[in-house]
């Protein structure tokens, strides 16, 4: 608009003696058409492109808020996890040591510390590991399209993240709780974190169930006591008042001694906080873990799920059946994700902390056995 106004001022003011007014208006209209047409990439522009252009400020605002709040979300995850660990060590573990038999105590100690190590390790690796980016200088790698934002070739399964403002290899999604994209090199860490965090929350919720019920009943009991008056007036004593010494009528109210100390009340509220937090996180995170397990079974990411659905509908209209070129089989998909090459890797690479690299470089993908011509989507 500034260019159009500048052009108008030049035609009306600077070129007074060079031609009639009609010629100036025609020149202005020609320039206006050029400016309008320059807004389009090509002739394939449609209503979706126009809507994207209209909502671009909203996308920019959401992306920047997500980028900045990512640090807050990471701090929140660390703070909530540390609070749960502190409550377990100070409140739950002493009860287990004093009431449970020796074999159950050893079981709780071994499983709880193993689960805690797995959660901390995979969360740190998921947040600190780069998801992978296509190289900027290489031109000999196989590509399927060009990125409109980076203006660089994109390999298969690579997508642009508007929050990170970079192309991500095998992009699944941008996770604000990690403040990082989930891609080729940290997909395993993200999934294992979700899995072990779900198991840990379920374990804490089940282990503290009985303590939660007792703490809830205790809180309700002393909350009802706090709502009562300081004492209950003694009535209906009749001639009994005449037998009392003088001045005793003034103390007709009696207040019972508190049943719970401050430390006991803090203990009860901590147990309730622990159970509510772990139960709610277990429900939400188990649904997320189940969803990603289904995606892994199908050999696709969250982004590819939407792409494959549209592609399947398009091919179905042609009387054909869509087949995912990156589906190696349900068990084989998990083997590719976890990097399992032999049986011992299920223990050393899945049940124990391992920082081994994923299968492949994220630029090229092996074709499954049922395909000899891999198709990029």
175 tagged catalytic: yes
CB 185 within 8 A of CB 358: yes
The encoded tokens of residue 92 equal 């739950």
DSSP string computed for 109-133? HHHHHHHHHHHHHHHHHHHHS----
Please pick, among 164, 175, 181, 201, the residue that the annotation labels catalytic.
175
Q: Which of 305, 284, 336, 323 is nearest to 172 (CA)?
A: 305
DSSP string computed for 293-340? HHHHHHT--HHHHHHHHHHHHHHHHTT-----TT---HHHHHHHHHT-
What are the φ and ψ backbone dihedral angles of 160, each rounded to 5 degrees?
-90, 130
CB 37 within 8 A of CB 9: no
CB 41 within 8 A of CB 49: yes
The encoded tokens of residue 217 equal 């009943």
Please give the positions annotated as active site.
175
């Amino acid at each position: 608009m500034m260019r159009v106004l500048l052009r108008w001022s030049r035609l009306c003011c600077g070129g007074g003696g060079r031609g009639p007014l009609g010629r100036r208006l025609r020149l202005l209209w020609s320039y206006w058409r050029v400016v309008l047409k320059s807004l389009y990439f090509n002739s394939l522009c449609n209503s979706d492109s126009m809507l994207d252009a209209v909502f671009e400020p909203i996308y920019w605002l959401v992306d920047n808020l997500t980028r900045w709040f990512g640090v807050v979300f990471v701090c929140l995850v660390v703070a909530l996890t540390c609070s749960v660990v502190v409550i377990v060590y100070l409140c739950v573990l002493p009860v287990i040591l004093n009431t449970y038999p020796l074999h159950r105590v050893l079981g709780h100690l071994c499983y709880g510390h193993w689960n805690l190590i797995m959660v901390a390790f995979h969360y740190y690796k998921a947040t600190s590991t780069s998801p992978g980016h296509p190289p900027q200088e290489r031109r000999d790698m196989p590509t399927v399209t060009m990125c409109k934002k980076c203006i660089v070739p994109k390999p298969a399964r690579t997508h642009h993240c508007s929050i990170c403002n970079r192309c991500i290899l095998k992009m699944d999604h941008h996770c604000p709780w990690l403040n990082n994209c989930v891609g080729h090199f940290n997909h395993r860490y993200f999934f294992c974190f979700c899995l072990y965090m779900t198991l840990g929350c379920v374990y804490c919720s089940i282990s503290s169930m009985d303590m939660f019920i007792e703490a809830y009943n205790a809180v309700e009991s002393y909350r009802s006591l706090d709502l009562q008056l300081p004492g209950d007036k003694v009535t209906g004593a009749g001639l009994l008042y005449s037998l009392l010494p003088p001045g005793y009528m003034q103390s007709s109210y009696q207040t019972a001694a508190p049943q719970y100390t401050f430390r006991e009340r803090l203990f009860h509220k901590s147990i309730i906080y622990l159970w509510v937090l772990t139960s709610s996180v277990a429900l939400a995170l188990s649904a997320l873990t189940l969803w990603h397990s289904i995606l892994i079974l199908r050999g696709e990411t969250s982004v590819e799920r939407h792409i494959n659905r549209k592609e399947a509908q398009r091919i179905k209209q042609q009387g054909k059946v869509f087949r995912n070129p990156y589906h190696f089989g349900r068990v084989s998909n998990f083997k590719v994700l976890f990097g399992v090459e032999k049986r011992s890797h299920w223990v050393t690479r899945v049940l124990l902390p391992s920082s081994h690299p994923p299968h492949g470089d994220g630029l090229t993908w092996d074709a499954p056995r049922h395909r000899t011509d891999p198709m990029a989507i």
